[in-house]
Amino acid sequence: MDKIVSQIFDHAAEVGSKGLEPKVLDEMKKRIADSLITSYGAMSAPPVSIEKKALLPSSGKLNSPVYFTDMKASVDISTFINGSMTRYLDFNDTYLSKEALHPSDNVPPILSMAYAKDLSGLDAAKAVSVAYDVVGALSDAVSIRDRGWDHVTYISISAAAGLGLLLGFSHEKYENLINLAINNNISLRQTRAGELSMWKGCTASDASRNSVFAALLALEGFTGPSPIFTGEMGFFKQVSGEFELNLKPGKVLRTMIKNYPVEYHAMSAAEVALNLREEISGRIEKVEVETFEVAHKIIIKDPEKLRPRTRETADHSMPYIVAFTLKNGAPTPTSYDDIYLKDREILRIIDVSSYKVTSRFNEMYPENLPVKIRVTTDKGAFEQEMDVPKGHFKKPYTWEDLKNKGKSVIGENNAKILVDFMKNFEKKSVRELFEVISDVNFKG
């Protein structure tokens, strides 16, 4: 029996029997609500529209709705489309450790399967919480990006872990689910290298779709290659190297809700740039930014980040985000439209900007997200430093904060409807949640 799979199974079983601590449940409900708010903003995004055109109509043995519509699709297809909405705007939550990733990528597969099986909000919350615990523990254990693998490989594992609890799998079926979910779902880091394509925002949803597909097979007794982690050609040997998995409940408490639709390593920079914009006067002559190595590697160093040509590259470009914010204010989902990517003043500010990695900030990461920005204009110099932005687990979102975020994406009335419903999600059914966000009741 694979030791890592056994650890995951035991943890899921414990969460299933003991339930969630009140604070964990409350934060879990916020993350599910946040993922739906974020998804709404991307329901007409180009890749989502392409997916709908390519994959719908769809039906299977188990079916669930496509978010914000009255259409249903097989659970794997609805997971893929809904997951692409969740991730595309780069506005969903973040976990930072040895690997940086987005735990709420696990929400769409759990909700889709829970709907198909007519399960409760509490069932879904426990399953998503297990997925958060697993993906956080994997992120803490080892980084695979420097080996050329993308972090969504971990989503394949965590989504399967949550689905196994949701479906009440025995140890044998649970192990086969994990085995099937991983073996053919190792994702290349090329997804996030150089100029970024539509796939950057959709690869996590494909990972979770494959986990749903694996769950459908394992449910009927299909077996998968084992031991998947420790085997001769398993995950340790081929992907990650050996690691120990430290699984504990409540990883959601260290996740962070995004205040702006930017890659999370740029969140402090966006907030500081916005603060400085309110102080500075005169023409910007120089921008000096101090940051940390991980941010430099992911969202600064590539030359494409200085002249992003796609929204996928722009929301992963700290130089663009800082320049945009200094000129126009807080980033929004429309900040990456073509008119801004070609804006001469934004490009000029990028050209007079410099970025430096400091050892002090390297030591502060990932517990903090430090940045220091100094802007020199023809009328003086303005400077600000920040350790953590709003929404970080050290400055967590309240329900009211979430409602305010929702106003800008789904409208004030819908934000209130969704937040009020989610506060009592554990007493509701998942099908009731889908009724709330259907196109009949959730017009925006």
pLDDT at 1: 76
Q: 3-class DSSP state for residue 330?
A: coil
Alpha helices in 184-225 (DSSP H): 203-219
What one-letter code names the amino acid at 177?
A: L
Mean pLDDT for the stretch of residues 161-178: 98
444, pLDDT greater than 50? no
Instruction: Round the average pLDDT of the chain to a whole number and report it.
Output: 96
Query: pLDDT tens, 196-253?
Result: 899 999 999 999 999 999 999 999 999 999 999 999 999 999 999 999 999 999 999 9
Q: How many CA atoms lie within 13 A of 369 on its CB side?
A: 27
Task: Give me the percent of the chain exceeding a pLDDT of 90.
Answer: 96
Looking at residues 182-192, what average pLDDT do you find? 95
Nearest to 99, CA basis, from 427, 365, 423: 365
User: Using an 8 Å Cβ cutoff, are 56 and 71 in contact?
Assistant: yes
Share of the chain above pLDDT 70, in %: 99
What CATH number is given for 3-259+409-436 in this structure? 1.10.4100.10
Q: Which pLDDT score is estimated for 443?
A: 57
SS3 state of residue 379? coil
Within 10 angstroms of residue 232's Cβ, the number of other Cβ atoms is: 8
Q: What span, in angstroms and rounded, lies between the C-alpha atoms of 168 and 17?
A: 11
Confidence of residue 193 (pLDDT cuts 50, 70, 90): confident
Nearest to 362 by CA among 296, 305, 299: 296
The CATH number of domain 264-386, selected from 3.30.1330.120, 3.30.1360.230, 1.10.3720.10, 3.50.50.60: 3.30.1330.120
Q: Which structure tokens are listed for 362?
A: 């390297």
Burial label for 360, CB within 10 Å (0-12, 13-18, 19+), is exposed
Q: Which residues have CB under 8 Å from 359's CB, separation 6+?
A: none
Look-up of token digits 């198909």:
116
Helix (H) or strand (E) holding 41: none
52: CB partners within 8 A, 6+ apart: 66, 81
Average pLDDT over residues 422-433: 98
Confidence band, pLDDT 50/70/90 cuts, at residue 194? confident
pLDDT tens digits, one per residue of 21-34 = 999 999 999 999 99
Distance CA 101, CA 94 (A): 6
**Domain residue spans in the chain?**
3-259+409-436, 264-386
With a cut of 60, say whether residue 85 has pLDDT above it.
yes
pLDDT score at 439: 66
In this prediction, residue 440 has a pLDDT band, given cuts at 50, 70 and 90, of: low
Q: What are the structure tokens assigned to 126, written together?
A: 């426990």
* Cβ partners under 8 Å of residue 387, min gap 6: 268, 364, 368, 369, 370, 394
Please give the angle made by the CA atoms of 167, 124 and 413, to the nearest 5 degrees. Answer: 150
- The encoded tokens of residue 264 equal 């999370």
In angstroms, rounded to a whole number, what is the distance separating the alpha carbons of residues 36 and 42?
Answer: 10
* 3 state SS of 371: strand
- Asked whether residue 36 carries a pLDDT value surpassing 90, the answer given is yes
Q: What residue type is 36 in one-letter code?
A: L
pLDDT surpasses 90 at 441: no
